[in-house]
Structure 1
Amino acid sequence: MTSIGGAEMVDWNLAVATATRFVRPGPDVSRDEARAVVAELRRHAKASEEHVRAFTGMIPEGSRPQDTPVLVVDRAGWVRANVAGFRELLRPLLDKMQERRPGGAQGAVLGAVGGKVTGVELGMLLSFLASRVLGQYETFAPASRDLPAGDPAHPGGNGGGRLLLVAPNIVHVERELGVDPHDFRLWVCLHEETHRTQFTGVPWLRDHLESEIQSFLGETDVDPMTFLERLREAAQSLAGARPEGEEDEGRSLVELVQTPAQREILGRLTAVMSLLEGHADYVMDGVGPDVVPSVAEIREKFQQRRARGASRLDLALRKLLGLDAKLRQYRDGERFVRAVVDEVGMDGFNRVWTSPNTLPTKAEIAKPADWVARVHRRAES
């Protein structure tokens, strides 16, 4: 465990405990209702496999891709999985910050309270996010008894991944939107199953993403006090402790980007995430009409919910955490996928998964015709 002055840089256990304590309570459901929701989500996840694979053509019929588990979790389960993933991904950055820890009194203060403070602040942020995520394909956390993963021998490496479906959040949103719960649950599963298909059908994708993230973190040149200050700003926004009127001035955590190399890597990561999220949106709506009768109503209401946010606090935190950028990724990525499929068909679009070199750039996400020209004309010449 990384430490400063003999104390942990991030108290991960405290982060989990804090998030679990402060996360909003889930919707009111009986024990029998909860069991029924879990069982239905598992059925829908299984059914979504065939729907998504048939629609995308990413996994040839008869092939046996990596099998990864489906975990229906509560909000605390989502927190634990993500803390485990963050712990792995942030290890190189925290090691670097450990080497740069200040000496003297400042180092002593950080050593005494830094890990606890950071653990609490990270936990507060996770408590905010834990009530908003419907599902996730988590691929970075090591496999454990409570967090099983795919076959470690698979080319994806490091234990594969797992599909998380956050049952209380799905129930909360379906009630809030007033949509058919069975249709909505299947619709969500189609989106998340697309992410599982992306990673199981493209063996190099997980390692490529990790390599890019580690390259980004390796370029980070930030002192521990600045890192803690940014986390503190986020936690203060969540607690409503910032002065009135400051919400709109909040800085995103991604503003830790400092070097040209980081900006270049971040551009590539943004393009990949736009592709993955937009592709999942395109697939869930493409499959939808055949298996989700009320898909048009669900999509319209869900888009309205995405766009409006919940409150000034919610908007401030979305900006601070970079969630506004994530919303743009859904929109821009879906437009890219739709334009490419319209131009060259699904098989033509699937050339995007050939290698890292055929992934779209950030500029090509905005101009799909440029990607078609680059990838298809080069392949045909």
Structure 2
Amino acid sequence: MSQYVDWSFAKTTGGRLAPAGPDVSADEAVEIVEQIRALAAQAVEPVAHTSRLRAPGEAPAPVVVDRPTWINVNADSMAAMLDPVVDKMALRQKRPPGPIAQAIGGKVTGAEAGGLFAFLSTKVLGQYDLAPGGTPSLLLVAPNLVATERELGVDPRDFRFWVCLHEETHRVQFTAVPWLREHVIAEAQSLATELVPDPDSLGERLQQIVQEIPRAFSGEGAGIADVFATPAQRERLAEITAVMSLLEGHADVVMDDVGPVHVPSVEEIRRKFDVRRKGAGSVDKILRRLLGLEAKMRQYKDGAAFVRSVQETVGVDGFNAIWSSPETLPRAREITDPQTWVRRIHG
């Protein structure tokens, strides 16, 4: 696999490029990590009560990490996720690259991946790492929590607990629903494999990407994945996006439902955080568009509206029928028309 991406070099590059976190003393850092860890544990019961889902006892506990550790974990997961994609690329090659080309190519793509990880490592507050082929875990990125709460000017304890509620919901989703993790991994790997262009069409696809870049500046461009996708693949991508919208929206609904009792300043946090999600600077917005991250921002809004509408119609227990099997997950058109899902599942 190193002939395509040198993941060790990606980790090293990402770690070097990732900006240092906010200024805190050694004692403050210890206190912050201990509090985040304690708040993550406190989030378990209110999330279980509100969602009516409970993580099994053997589910791994949340882990508080820094930016370099987040990069290392995600590089390993990305490598495992892309294994079948790389296998497909290798089979399509008419002539395998020589040793020198492998070394250079792997380093170049590793550096590019490292740069991307460095950028994302400053954005992610928490993440449930699916860890294909490994042990999944919930990551809480301490420097990003501190940087964001300072940027927003909100109560640190309330903000940290609010984020823990969101991320604990993801831990519950993927551990209380036994089939969900493997389903999401399989769907993502399958689509990624399909998105790899044939060698004969690679030049045309690259030209399309170049044409997309100016459109990103105007806000009209699509993400890179959309450029590579055929119409049929875009439909599959829309179905996967619907599932991700469900997961993110459900986590947002749970965190806000728990919030009024456990997070006194939840309304202020939500208002300020929604503004932050839009992206502050023009460069940041352009990168979000090119990487498809703006579509992810829409997932929270569409998914939360879907969850609210379904729960208002059939209650939390009726909504939880969604976790029965892959067939009960929402389809792309149902995310924006929740009652269609209700009629399909509940009649």
Output the TM-score relative to the length of structure 2.
0.91
Q: SS of the counterpart of 1:164?
A: strand
Return the match for 2:123 from 132, 135, 140.
132
Shift in Å at residue 261 of structure 1? 4.3
Decide whether the 8 Å contact of 1:353 with 1:359 is kept in 2.
yes
Is 1:197 aligned with 2:197?
A: no
Is 1:284 aligned with 2:276?
A: no
**Runs of 5+ in structure 1 lacking a partner?**
144-158
**AA paired with 1:203?**
P
Decide whether the 8 Å contact of 1:65 with 1:200 is kept in 2.
no
**AA paired with 1:39?**
E
Residue 284 of structure 2 is matched in structure 1 by 314
Decide whether the 8 Å contact of 1:195 with 1:276 is kept in 2.
yes
Return the match for 2:145 from 167, 170, 176.
170
Q: Write out per-residue CA displacement over residues 102-134 of structure 1, whole angstroms, 9 at most, x where no aligned residue.
A: 549x87885352111100001111111000100
| 2-structure distance, mates of 1:303, 1:206 | 28
| 2-structure distance, mates of 1:44, 1:246 | 39
Residue 34 of structure 1 is matched in structure 2 by 29
Structure with a larger share of its residues in helix: 2
Residue 84 of structure 2 is matched in structure 1 by 92
Residue 69 of structure 1 is matched in structure 2 by 61
Return the match for 2:295 from 321, 325, 343.
325
| 2-structure distance, mates of 1:126, 1:177 | 24
Q: How has the CA–CA distance of structure 1 residues 171 and 226 changed in structure 2, closer, same or farther, with 3 Å as cutoff?
A: farther
Shift in Å at residue 306 of structure 1? 1.0
Q: How has the CA–CA distance of structure 1 residues 339 and 324 changed in structure 2, closer, same or farther, with 3 Å as cutoff?
A: same
Q: SS of the counterpart of 2:277?
A: helix
Decide whether the 8 Å contact of 1:252 with 1:322 is kept in 2.
yes
Decide whether the 8 Å contact of 2:216 with 2:290 is kept in 1.
no
1:97-112 → structure 2 map (5 Å cutoff):
97-103=89-95, 110-112=101-103
Is 1:364 aligned with 2:339?
A: no
| 1-structure distance, mates of 2:216, 2:317 | 49
Decide whether the 8 Å contact of 2:216 with 2:289 is kept in 1.
no
The two structures, once aligned, show a CA RMSD in angstroms of 2.5
Identity %: 50
Output the TM-score relative to the length of structure 1.
0.83
Decide whether the 8 Å contact of 1:58 with 1:201 is kept in 2.
yes
**AA paired with 2:295?**
A
Q: SS of the counterpart of 1:38?
A: helix
| 1-structure distance, mates of 2:22, 2:151 | 10
Residue 258 of structure 1 is matched in structure 2 by 229
Shift in Å at residue 262 of structure 1? 2.4
Is 1:81 aligned with 2:56?
A: no
| 2-structure distance, mates of 1:213, 1:66 | 26
**AA paired with 2:335?**
I
Residue 45 of structure 1 is matched in structure 2 by 40
Shift in Å at residue 67 of structure 1? 1.8
**Runs of 5+ in structure 2 lacking a partner?**
none
Shift in Å at residue 100 of structure 1? 2.1
Paired residues, number:
341
| 2-structure distance, mates of 1:258, 1:43 | 43
| 1-structure distance, mates of 2:311, 2:192 | 34
Residue 151 of structure 1 is matched in structure 2 by none
